Structure 1
Amino acid sequence: MPNPIRDVAPTVADAVANERERQESTLGMIASENHVSEAVLAAQGTALTNKYAEGYPGARYYGGCEFVDEVERLAVERATDLWGADHVNVQPHSGTQANMGVYFAALEPGETILSLDLTHGGHLSHGHHVNFSGQLYDVTQYEVDPETGYIDYDELAALAHDVEPELIVSGSSAYPREFDWERVGEIADEVGAHQLADIAHITGLVAAGVHSSPVDHATFVTGSTHKTIRAGRGGIIMCDAEYADDVDSAVFPGSQGGPLMHNVAGKAVGFTEATTPAFEAYAEQSVANATVLADVLRDRGLSLVSGGTDKHLVLVDLRDSHPDLTGDDAEAALAAVDIVVNKNTVPGETRSPFVTSGIRIGTPALTTRGFGADELETVAHHIADVLDDPDDEDVRNRVREDVQRLCETHPIYD
C-alpha cells in the first residue's frame, strides 16, 4: 500500500508505524488518553488542514470558508445536543486553551481564582505557578480532606468567603470523585463569583449521562475532546448565552488565531459518534471497569485516594502499602510488562513531581478496546503482582505474556 509519508520522510513514517504498534501491543491506562475511531483519524487527516478560517462561521476573515463553516456548525450543533449548553465554542486547541479563553473572558489580570491544588487532583491550568494562569492571576487553592480524600465543601465555602474570588474552578485531573457542581455554584453565588467547571476528563461521561453535569450550575464549562469523548485532541468551551460574545472574542482573537479545522472536523465526527447508544454503553462500561479496578487493587492492599472512584480513574497512594516504591518506580515497573500508567502526585505529597508517591490509572482506552469487567479484574491483579515484587523476573514474564494475549485479543484497529 502506498505510503506518501515514507516517500518524503522515512524517519517520520517509521516513528508513526512504531507508535501505532506500541499502542496495539501495550495496555494504555493513562487516564487522559484514549483511542479515536478510524473515522475520527480520517477526518483529522484531510485537506481541511490547509484552510485558514479566522473568525466564526458566516463571519470569517478569509474567503473560501463555506465548507469549513459547515463542519464547524455541525460540531457546535452536536456539542449543543450532547451537553445542553446555551453556547458552545469548539475552536480551542486544548483544554488548557479552553480555560485560557474563559479566564480572558471573565477576569482581569490580578483578579482572584479559587481552585483545587495540583497535588490534590487539580490541573496546571487551574493556577499553578509555572502556568500562565498562576502568573497572571491571584490564585488561592483548596485541598481535599487529608483523612477522607474528599473535598470538604464547608471548608471550601469558608475559604471562598475569606478570599472573595472572582472565579471558582471546579473539576480536576486526578480527583476520583464527582464534584458537587450545585454546591460549588451556590458558594460562587454567595461570594459574587462565577463557577468554571473543567470537565476535561469526564466530557464523555457527562455527555453519556453517566456522570452528573455542571451545565446548569456553572457559568462556564470547559473540556478536552480527546479523553472520554474520543473526538480527537482539542478543547471546548460552553457558557451561558450572555457570555457568548465574551468567550468567542477571548478565543479569537484573544488567545489564538485560526482554528485547526481538521481537528474541528474530528470533533464533529467524534461528537456525532457520541450521540449513539453504543457510546452510552461505552461510557457506562468505563465507569464499571474503573470500579472493578478499584475493588481489586484495594482488596490487594493498595491505598486509593478517597478509597475508590466515581468515574474512570483511580489514584493509588503507594506510601502505606509500598513505602519504598515511588510513583516513578511503579510506572517503570509496569511499563516493563507493557502496562502504561503515569506517576502522579497525591494529597500531602512530599516527593518531587518528577518522582511522586502515587500512580494514576484509567480505564477509557481499555474500554474502547472492548475490555469488560473480567479483563479489568485480570489486569488489576497483574498490576498488584508487579507492584508487590517489581524485580521478580518470573512475575514480569508471566504478566507480560498475558498482557500480549489481551492485546492480541482486543486490537485497537482491525
Structure 2
Amino acid sequence: MKKPRARAPRRFALGMAVLLCSAGATADENITARFRPDPSNPMVNKFENTTPISSICAAHIPARCKALGIFSLRDTTLRIASVAPIIANHEEERQGFMVKVPSAWRDLVVTHATTQETEIVQVRIAGIGGYWSVPRPPGVSAWGQPGIAWSTQWRYAPSPCQSTSHLAAGTASASYFWLTPEGAGPCSRKPSQDLLRMNVNTMEYAYELRTPNPLGMSSGLYTGSITYTMGPGGDYDFGDVMMPSKNALTFNFTLSVEHDLKVEVPPGGNRIELVPQGGWQPWLNQGRKPARLFRDQTFNISASSRFKMQLGCERTMGDTCALRNATDGHAVPVDVSVSLPHGLSHGDGAPVNRQPLLLSGAGTELFQPGFYVNRRPGTLHFEVRKDYAEQMLERGGSTYSGQVTVVWDSQV
C-alpha cells in the first residue's frame, strides 16, 4: 500500500498598510506590515511593521521608540499657519500654540481581498512634533518665561504630553517632538512676548498599532482605512489660531501574511507495509493470529496557518479506504488516523491524537497552530482491525494492496 501524498505547501501573503489621504485638503499616508514565520524564532508570531520610519524614530530616539513599540512618520506637505497674532501669556490655550491628537485607540476593519474575511486593527497616535518658525525679533526667545529658558519650554513637554528631550533649533525656528499618552488631552505653550505670526512647515508624528493574530488569518492581503479630521474641534486640533492646510488624514492599511504549510515524508515513506505487532514470526512459528495489522509512518510538518486534512482512496469501503486481494477480489477496510505535534490542535484547542481520517472529512475540517510549528514530527497511523486481518490470513499467500492519499490543505 502506498504512503499518503502531501499536497504541495501553500504559501500566502497578507499585508497591512495604513494611508493618510491627500486630495486637495486631505492627506494620505501608507503603512505596511507583514507576517512571515521565522524558523529561528517560532514562538514569535506577530506582524512586522515594514513601513519606513522618519528621523525621530530612525535617528533621534530609536531606543525609546523601540521600547514603546511606536513608529514615526513625517508629513512635509502639511502647513499649519497662524491666522492671527499670538498674544503673550494668553489665558485661553486655544488662542496660541496647541496640539491635540487622536491618542485613544480606534478600531478599523481590514478585509481580505479574496475571501472577504475581516479582522480588526487598532491604531492610535502616540506622539506629535514638527518644525516651526516665528519672526525675528523676538525669535525663539519669545517662548522663555521668568526663570525658564525658552529651550526648556520645548525640550520638555507640557502635561499631559511627555518629553523625549528632542530639540533642534536656530534663532527663529525649532524642531520638537512630544509623546502623547493614551487618551491625552491638548498640550500647549504660551510665549512671553507677542508673536505676529507662527508657521509649522513639517509635521512629524508617531503611531502605535495593535494587529490581529496572524496564525488565525488566511493568507493573502487585507486592506482597510481610517480617516481623522483636522482643524478646530477635529481629531487633530491645533486650536483656533493655528490652522492646518489640510482637513483630513486617512490611514490605509495593507496587511501581508506569508504562511508556511509544508509536509516532508522520509525516503521510502510513501510505501506502507502492514505487519503484526512483533512481526510475522509468532504467526508463522506458533500459529498465533495477530490482533491487527498496522504501520505508523512519521512525517515532519511545518505550519503557521490553519489547515484541514482530507482522505482520498483508490478503493472505498464505507467512510474509509479499502485494500483488495488481486486473486479473488476480497477487500477489507484500512483505518487511517493522524497524530499531530504539540502546537497543532483542533479548533477547540484539543490535542490531535489518532484522529480518524475519513472520506467525509468529519473531524479533520480544521487544525490550527498555537505557534509556528517548524519541522516537528507527526504520525499517520494505518491499521486493519483483527476481524478483517483474520479474513486476510484465511487467504494465505495472497497480497492486498490499495492506494491511499492524504491531503494537507491550507484553504480552510
TM, length-normalised to structure 1: 0.20
Q: Which protein is bigger by CA-based radius of gyration?
A: 2
**Where is the helix percentage greater, Structure 1 or Structure 2?**
1
